Structure formats: structure tokens, C-alpha cells
Amino acid sequence: MVVLGYFVMLIGVVLAVAGELRLLALAYRTGTGWFVGCLLLPFCDLAFTIAHSKLALRPFATAICGWLLLGLGLWILDLRW
């Protein structure tokens, strides 16, 4: 189970980072204000996704799935945050 937990965590981290980078790239193309906001403010990613749902929904969903897989991997390993 240990190997499975680490594998799920690795996949989760890769998906979360890829989704966040794609979201930041879209925010940068939209405007530097969105980029700085998404980079520094906690819920600006969600606001950007709501404001530009056709563009940003897939990267946001990828990042959320990555975070969920990371949490699942931690749960499999019985690790605490």
C-alpha cells in the first residue's frame, strides 16, 4: 500500500502543478492584473475561473483533481498534514 500511496501522491502533485501553471498562463494572457492576483491572492483562481469559465474551467478542474489525488495518497499512507 505504501507504493500505491506514493504513486497516487506523485500523480496528484503533477496534475496540480500542471493545472496551476496552465491557469497562470491563461491569466497572464488575459491581463497582468489577473496574473498577479492569481499568483498572490488565495481565491483569485476561483474568481478568474468564474469570470472566464470557457477558458479556465479545464485547468482549474485539473488542479482540483490533482489536489484531491494528493489528499487521497496521504489518506492511503495514513499521513497527516
CB 17 within 8 A of CB 65: no
Say if residue 49's pLDDT is above 90.
yes
Asked if the structure places residue 23 within a domain, the reply is yes
Say if residue 53's pLDDT is above 70.
yes
Number of domains in the chain: 1
Asked if the structure places residue 81 within a domain, the reply is no
DSSP code for 78: T
Closest CA to 21 of 55, 52, 53, 62: 62
Asked if the structure places residue 10 within a domain, the reply is yes
Query: How confident is the model at residue 70, as a pLDDT?
Result: 95
Say if residue 81's pLDDT is above 70.
no
Asked if the structure places residue 7 within a domain, the reply is yes
